[in-house]
Structure 1
C-alpha cells in the first residue's frame, strides 16, 4: 500500500521561558508525559457512524479508514492505487469492469477476504432497501458477481465515467461478511470489522474512539500500538490539549491561533490544501426561498471576502463555483460580489421591502470557526433587513435534522460543507444538486431542482471522453450559480498541528488525517 506523507510544516520561532523543575509549554501549562504506545488525535466532531453505508462525514472517514479499507486508494496527488483490489480492467465500452481481489488478506475476525465478501458489501451498498445516502457512487452498477474466488465483476447499465474514483471513496468500505450476512436492510453496527491496520477497541460515546494495532495486517504493521480519536468541538480546548501534550495532533486549527502555536518549539503547524466548499443552503421548496430573487439577494448580502480575510486571516478563497478549482469540471462563474444595495432591491422586488425573519441552522466544531462564520452571516443579513435566528446542534443530531424529506423538513437555511473527495464534479454536483438526490436517501438537503441541470449531470456521468464531459459540467455550474440554491461562501483550507515528536502522519487533501505510517521519534 503506497501512501506518501506530503506534510508541509512551517518554521518555528524559538521562544521559551526558562525551564522550571517540571516541563512547561507556552503559557506555563504543565505538559503531559508522552505515552509512546498511544497516538492521540483531537478532532472537532464525533462520527455519526462507522458503518460504511451509514457514514456521511469526514470525521467518520478519518476514523473509519484506519479500520475498514476500500478497493482503491487515492494518493495525496490524486493518483489511484491498488488497495484491496490489485488490478482492474474494463471491456471495450466500459460497461463491464473486472477486479482482481488481493489474496492472503483476512478480516479482523479471521474471515478471508475474497470476491464473494466484496460482492456482499457492494450489494448492500446499492440495495435500495438499505437506503445508503451515498449509493449514487455506484449508481450505474446493475449486477455484481464473484466470477472466481478472487475475481469480481461489475456490470453497468451504461458507461460510468467516475467509477474508479468513486470506488476509492471511504464510504465504500469492505467489512467482514460475518458482520452483514444476516443483517436486515435497516440494520447497522457500531464497531466495524474490517481489514485495516487498526482494530476497533472501544467507542466511548461523546468522548473518544480507541483503536488497537492489527498484528496480522497484510501491509506494513503500524509502529504505534494504539490510536485514540478524541472529540473536542471547542477550538480553544483542542489548542490547549495539544500544548499540554494531552493530544499529539489536532485538526482544524483556527488561523488566529497559528502564530501562538508556531511560537511553541514543541509544535509543528501543518498547512494543506482542501477540496471542501462551505455553503449555506436554502430550503428551496419553502417560502420565501422559492423565489430566486430572494436567494440571489442573500448572496449579495454576505461579504464572503470579509469572512475569508477577517475570520480566516486570508486562509481560503471565496467560492466562485459550487466546487473548488482542483476538481475536474470546475469553471469560474462567480463570485457574487458583496452588494447590500442590490440585495435590498431584489428583496423589495420579491415583496420583502422590510425583509423577513427566518432561522439559520449551523454546526459547532465540525468546520473551522463554523459558529463564528454563522454569526457573521447573521450580522450581514441583518444589514439588509433579514432577521436570522441562529440554532446549533450536536453534529450527528444536526445531520439527522437536515436529512428529512421535504414535507418534514423544518429548516429555512442551514450551513454545511462538502469535500469533493473524488476530484470529479459528479461527486460535488450530482450528490448535492440533482433532483434524484433529495432527502431522505440523498444529499440534496436543500431540495434544489432544475430539469436542465439534471439532464446535464446525467449525460456527464455516462460520457467517458473528458473533453466532452467538461462542457456539460460548465453549463450545469453556470445554471446552478444563476439559480443560487445556496449562499456560496468559501473554499476552506486545512490547518492542522502536530507535536514535533510525531512523524509520518498523512495530512491528506481530502481532509483525512491518517496515522498508519506515524511514529514517535
Structure 2
C-alpha cells in the first residue's frame, strides 16, 4: 500500500518511481515558489530558487559576514553619503548580454519604482537618491544621509541583478522565466509540482558540480520524509520532530540542525475590533504557553521569542516574553468585556507546510486559548493564496489574526523592524499586514536608519523593540531552528540561516549503503 502511495506521489511531482537521475539534485521544499522575479519574490522558497539563478552585489555569509559578490571592490566617501561599486569584469547574463553598470542601475531603479510594486522597495527607496554610471564597471549610489544598513540591504535577494534585455523582452512573462548571472540557469517550472535548473557552464566563478537541481513542492512533512528516505529526493526541509529519531537511525541520512534568522508570530489586524484594544492583544499573549509549544510541538527545535527579532541579528536585545499567565489573560479579557457569557471568538489563519509544524502550532494555540474561554476557528489556504489574502489593503482585508514568519535575512534589525512595524509599510505595498501604527516608533526607526554610530543604532533599536513589546501588535511565538534531512551522498550543501538551501558547491557522491 505504501509503495502504491509513493508511486502516486512521485508521478504527481514528475519523478519516475525508479531512482532520480544521478546528476540531478532533488530538494523537497514545503511550498511552490510564488514568482521567480527577484524583487517580487517575498518568501524563502521563491528566494531559494532565485538565488541560484540571479546574484546580488553583496553576499550575506552563513557566519554573518557581508562579502562582495558581483562587486569586485567598493568604497564610501568620507561623509558616507556616496557608495562606489566596481563590478567584476567579464560577467555575462544567461542570455549572453553583459553585466555592466547600466544593468545594475536598471535593476536597482526597477526595485524602487512604484510601478514594480515590490514590497521590498523600502530597502533603497528614499535612502538612495541617485544612481550614477560613470563607466561600464562603476556604479555610484548617492544618499541624502548616511544609510547604516546599505551593504546589508544589497545582500537581499530582491536586489539580485537580472538581465534588463530579458525583462524588457518578456514583460509580465519574466516572472516565470528568470535570467541572471548565477551558477544555474532556469530550465522549466511545472507550477505546483517542481522547478528545475540546469548548470551554467559559462559561469564567471567556480562551476557547479551538479548538472541539474530540482525543487519539489511538497507541503506534507510525512511525504517529504518518505521521498528522502527512499532516495527520490536528496534533501527534505523542516523535518517533523516525531521523525527525527527514525531518520537519525537511517545510515543513509544526516539530520542537520542549523540556526535560523526566522521569527514566527501571529499578527493582529489592529484596525479591527477587538484587536484595536491592547488589553485583548496582551491577554492573548499571556494565554499562550510558548515554551510548551517549543518543547512539545516543535520537539525543542526552536526558541521562545523574547524580542521581535532573533538573537544573532545586529540590533537584537532581549525585550520580554509575556509570561504564560492564564489568570491574568482572563482578567484582561474581562476588562475588555469578554467572559463566559460573552466569549471572544475569531478566525485564525494559518499556513500548512510553510513553517515547521505550522498547523500543529495553530492547533496548540487554539487549545490553549480555549482554556481561557476564547473560541478560535482555524482556516488555511494554499501558500500563494494565503499570501494574497493576508496582503489585501486595509479596506478589503478580512484577516483578524494570522500566522506568518519573518527572516531578518540581511542580518540587520532595520530589515526585521522597519518592514514589519513602520506605518509606511502597510499592506499591500509593505509587510505591515496588521496595519499597526505608532508615530513614536516611526520616528525611532527613521532615526536608526541614518545613524552612523553602531552603538547609537543599538540604543534606538532597544527603544523601538520596547515600544513594540508594550503595544503587542503580535503574539510573539518563537524563532525556528532549521532541521533538514540530507542524504549522505550529498556533500557541500549549505543550509543557510536565511532559510535558503544553496547548492552552488554541492556534489553528489555514491549512494550510501542502507
Q: Same fold (TM over 0.5)?
A: yes
Map of 2:504 onto structure 1: 516
> Which of 422, 444, 447 pairs up with 1:456?
444
Q: Distance in 2 between matches of 1:144 and 1:446?
A: 33
> Which of 399, 422, 432 pairs up with 2:410?
422
Q: Distance in 2 between matches of 1:312 and 1:390?
A: 19
Could you give the per-residue CA deviations for residues 45-94 of structure 1, whole angstroms, max 9, x where no partner exists? Answer: 11111101211011111111000101001111111111111111111111
> Which of 162, 173, 191 pairs up with 2:160?
173
Any conservation in 2 of the 1:283–1:411 contact (CA below 8 Å)?
yes
Could you give the per-residue CA deviations for residues 70-123 of structure 1, whole angstroms, max 9, x where no partner exists? Answer: 100111111111111111111111111110111101101000110001110111
> Which of 39, 47, 59 pairs up with 1:61?
47
Return closer, same or farther for 1:247/1:344 CA change in 2, 3 Å cut-off.
same
Q: Distance in 1 between matches of 2:105 and 2:169?
A: 15
> Which of 73, 91, 112 pairs up with 1:87?
73
Map of 2:289 onto structure 1: 303
Any conservation in 1 of the 2:95–2:166 contact (CA below 8 Å)?
no
Could you give the per-residue CA deviations for residues 341-394 of structure 1, whole angstroms, max 9, x where no partner exists? Answer: 111100110111232211100111000110000111111111112111110011
Structure 1: stretches of 5+ with no match in the other structure: 1-29
Q: Distance in 1 between matches of 2:173 and 2:419?
A: 24
Map of 1:238 onto structure 2: 224
Matched, 1:121 2:107: yes
Return closer, same or farther for 1:194/1:414 CA change in 2, 3 Å cut-off.
same
Return closer, same or farther for 1:188/1:212 CA change in 2, 3 Å cut-off.
closer
Any conservation in 2 of the 1:301–1:381 contact (CA below 8 Å)?
yes
Q: Distance in 1 between matches of 2:62 and 2:315?
A: 19
What are the equivalent positions in structure 2 for 1:155-174 lying under 5 Å apart?
A: 155-174=142-161
What are the equivalent positions in structure 2 for 1:22-101 lying under 5 Å apart?
A: 32-33=18-19, 35-101=21-87
Matched, 1:318 2:316: no
Any conservation in 2 of the 1:36–1:224 contact (CA below 8 Å)?
no
Q: Distance in 1 between matches of 2:505 and 2:319?
A: 40
Map of 1:145 onto structure 2: 132
Map of 1:265 onto structure 2: 251
More helix per residue: 2
Q: Distance in 1 between matches of 2:394 and 2:144?
A: 30
Matched, 1:224 2:210: yes
Could you give the per-residue CA deviations for residues 149-168 of structure 1, whole angstroms, max 9, x where no partner exists? Answer: 10001111211100001101
Matched, 1:377 2:365: yes
Map of 2:427 onto structure 1: 439
Structure 2: stretches of 5+ with no match in the other structure: 1-15, 510-514
Secondary structure of the residue aligned to 1:381 is: helix
Q: Distance in 2 between matches of 1:514 and 1:427?
A: 22
Map of 1:198 onto structure 2: 184
TM-score by length of 1: 0.92
**1:431 Cα deviation from its structure 2 partner:** 0.3
Map of 2:337 onto structure 1: 351
> Which of 311, 323, 327 pairs up with 2:313?
327
Could you give the per-residue CA deviations for residues 400-454 of structure 1, whole angstroms, max 9, x where no partner exists? Answer: 1111111111010000000111111100000000000001100000111111111
Greater Cα offset, 240-249 or 124-133: 124-133
Q: Distance in 2 between matches of 1:340 and 1:85?
A: 54
**1:500 Cα deviation from its structure 2 partner:** 0.7
Return closer, same or farther for 1:34/1:127 CA change in 2, 3 Å cut-off.
closer
Secondary structure of the residue aligned to 1:129 is: helix
Map of 1:394 onto structure 2: 382
Any conservation in 1 of the 2:57–2:71 contact (CA below 8 Å)?
yes
Map of 2:267 onto structure 1: 281
Q: Distance in 1 between matches of 2:379 and 2:20?
A: 39
Matched, 1:410 2:398: yes
Q: Distance in 2 between matches of 1:199 and 1:234?
A: 28
Any conservation in 2 of the 1:85–1:101 contact (CA below 8 Å)?
yes
Secondary structure of the residue aligned to 2:40 is: coil
Any conservation in 1 of the 2:122–2:419 contact (CA below 8 Å)?
yes
**1:32 Cα deviation from its structure 2 partner:** 4.8
**1:35 Cα deviation from its structure 2 partner:** 2.5
